[in-house]
Amino acid sequence: MPRKVIIITDPGQDQAVAILMALAAPEHFEILGIVTSAGNISLDFTQKNARKLIELAGRTDVPVFAGCPRPIHRKLVTAEHVHGPTGLDGSDLPEPIVPLQEEHGVDFIIRTLRQLPAGSVTIFSESPLTNLAMALIKAPDIAEKISEIVMMAGAYFEVGNITPSAEFNIYVDPKAADIVLRSGIPMVMLPLDVTHKLLSTPERLDRIAKLGNRAGRTVAGLLSFSEGFDLNKYGWEGAPLHGPTVPAYMIRPEIFGGRQVNVTVEIGSELTLGMTVVDYWQITDRVRNVFYVTEADSDAYYQLIAELIGRLP
């Protein structure tokens, strides 16, 4: 049976790959809807990008909703310096035809979860957690309907990628992350500590480009654009590929490794705002609220990406 999921996202090139993977795997994912957030770029672009992706995948049956246009308590921080002014720079996808849903993304999350049995939906998170946090604030009863949250977010050993101490998805809306992490919902965190081990080398990108389909060419173009910033910053043989860890973990958890720990978020310090404080060595008696992933088989990861992207038009 496929897992019922709500995708929250702010595409973004690597998030685009994650969404395409999920759209290509209906045997694993029953996608109830895609809720877009402001994050990598503004909401105007993220909702449009999500609609472009469902059209590319031939999955216009999946509805797309626009959520919150900014974080809960602060101004929006974006990442055009990585993703370009549209968020999907590196592709030539046409303007979408499929319409944006009229319902607000937060209201969609609440309505959908309330209609389903307890523990029946997984949140597939690729973005700042604003929309999910707002849904939990507005309707606390929905928490019991969520079986698990699988999120690309956070860092501990690799510290930050937007500030010296904070990972981008958490930093954009640390208050939202704090609300979600204190919700009591089971969750998996795929942080920079694992994504920095999953490098999109030229050989791996070339394999995707040569799949022979439009989706493969599009993904190779997207990642070739977005990797420029990271290659310059880190000087590695390839750029880390963050977003696809979420569908990859949900499909093949055996290729990942981690441990159950406590994770909290710094929300008060100007210097370390958005830092994920991971009690990796169990120094405190705080509740172990997150399965925190630190290891992965990179070859198996890229093999799965190529396999799924290869199924698309």
> CA 34 to CA 6: how far, in whole Å?
6
DSSP-H helix ranges across 58-212: 80-83, 105-114, 130-138, 168-172, 174-181, 192-195, 202-209
Angle between helices 202-209 and 298-309 (to 10 degrees): 20
Does residue 104 have an active-site annotation?
Answer: no
In 3-state terms, the chain is what percent helix, strand and coil (to 5)? Answer: 40, 20, 40
> CA 222 to CA 74: how far, in whole Å?
29
Does 12 sit behind a cis peptide bond, omega within 30 degrees of 0 on the bond before it? Answer: yes
Residue with tokens 């999921």: 5
Contact 146, 28 (CB under 8 A): no
CA distances from 257 to 43, 194, 291, 298 (A): 34, 9, 9, 12
Catalytic member of 73, 81, 83, 242: 242
SS3 61: coil
Active site residues: 242
